[in-house]
Each structure stands twice: as C-alpha cells, then as structure tokens.
C-alpha cells in the first residue's frame, strides 16, 4: 500500500482550538490523469479502530500539534466529511499556526492515508475512495484542496475560496 496525501478544506480558530474539515465528501478532485471523490463512510472503520492519529504541521513529524491518543485531537465523520477539532499546543509553531490561521494565510488541511483492499472503486478514469486507513491530518501552509472549500478563522468574517488540488504520493 502507498501512503497518499490529499490537501483539503476548512479551518477555523477559537481560542487555542482549531476546527474544520480535513476532507470533504462527494467533491471531485483532479489528480493527474484521473479524478477522485471521497464517499461518505470512507473514514468510519479507521476512526472506529482506535488507532492513534496525529495532527501535524505540513506533514512534518517533528511538529506535532495534537493526537487522538492524548485526547487533544477529536475526529468524526458527519454528512459533509472528516471533521476535526484540536487543541493547539503552547509552543512556538503552535503560536505561529494560530497567528497564520487568524490572518487567513494558511492553505488549508491535508490528510495522509492508505487504501485497504476493496477500499476503492474505479470507473474509467474516476477513483472513488470507499474506505481509507487514516494516518494523520495536517495543517498546511500551501496547496489547498477541493474546489469551494474555505479557510475561515471563526473570529473573522472574510472567506477564502480554495480552488487548487495537490497530491503527493510517497512510495
């Protein structure tokens, strides 16, 4: 299995908390020569497994923001996608992330995953993700994801439309 990363979605601040969506369901994204869409329920088994999932900055394992094992990261699926809430640490990079989020300078969210057997369905050049094994979510400084997503500090009213999609596959 290959570890894949998708950059996505919505981010808000509230005190020392960040919340939003690390992935959205039903939105087609162009990935090289194919399109991809995440189906509702794709994260269900992974979240139910109780595995420790990290929240990072730019996928950097040296910059851990939170983790499910410590209770500082909460993940759930709703009808829109993979929802998260994390408590930002009182560290230098934590303060930087909060400041960038308040200013609207962050690119969005990303997530890293592998696809289990029978977790995807191909129809021509369209890939549907039916189930994924989630490894981490990341706050990213650039390359936001699915068209129409937002980065929105809760205390601010302007919204930024994010139209780019970026894929990084680690082999």
Chain segment 103-154, per-residue pLDDT in tens: 878 778 888 899 999 999 999 999 999 999 999 998 887 764 544 344 334 4
CATH number at residue 70: 3.20.16
CB atoms within 10 A of CB 8: 31
Residue 161 is predicted with a pLDDT of 31
φ/ψ of residue 119, rounded to 5: -90, 0
pLDDT-derived band of residue 6, with 50, 70 and 90 as boundaries?
A: low
Domain count for the chain: 1
Residue 3 is predicted with a pLDDT of 67
pLDDT-derived band of residue 12, with 50, 70 and 90 as boundaries?
A: low
| Residue 160 CA from chain centroid, whole number | 17
pTM: 0.78
Mean pLDDT of 39-60: 95
- Measured between alpha carbons, how far is 63 from 147 in angstroms, rounded to an integer? 27
Mean pLDDT of 150-162: 36
Place of tokens 């549907």: 128
Beta carbons of 95 and 146 less than 8 angstroms apart: no
Residue 144 is predicted with a pLDDT of 47
Mean pLDDT of 61-85: 94
Residue 109 is predicted with a pLDDT of 84
Residue 163 is predicted with a pLDDT of 32
Residue 103 is predicted with a pLDDT of 83
Place of tokens 């890293």: 112
Strand order in the sheet with 17-24: 73-77, 81-87, 17-24, 10-14, 149-151, 160-162
Mean pLDDT of 91-101: 87
Residue 30 is predicted with a pLDDT of 83
Least confident interval from 8-22, 31-45, 84-98, 115-129:
8-22
> Would you give the DSSP letter of residue 101?
H
Which residue range(s) make up the domain with 99?
3-170
């Amino acid at each position: 299995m290959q570890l894949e990363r998708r950059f996505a979605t919505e981010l808000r601040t509230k005190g020392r908390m960040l919340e939003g969506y690390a992935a959205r369901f039903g939105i087609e994204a162009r990935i090289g020569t194919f399109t991809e869409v995440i189906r509702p329920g794709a994260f269900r088994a992974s979240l139910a497994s109780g595995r420790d999932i990290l929240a990072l900055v730019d996928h950097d394992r040296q910059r851990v923001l939170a983790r499910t094992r410590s209770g500082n990261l909460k993940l759930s699926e709703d009808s829109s996608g993979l929802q998260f809430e994390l408590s930002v640490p009182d560290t230098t990079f934590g303060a930087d992330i909060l400041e960038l989020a308040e200013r609207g300078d962050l690119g969005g969210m990303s997530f890293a995953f592998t696809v289990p057997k029978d977790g995807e369905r191909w129809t021509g050049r369209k890939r549907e993700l039916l189930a994924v094994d989630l490894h981490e979510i990341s706050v990213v400084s650039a390359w936001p994801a699915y068209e129409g997503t937002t980065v929105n500090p809760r205390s601010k009213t302007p919204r930024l439309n994010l139209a780019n999609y970026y894929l990084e596959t680690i082999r």
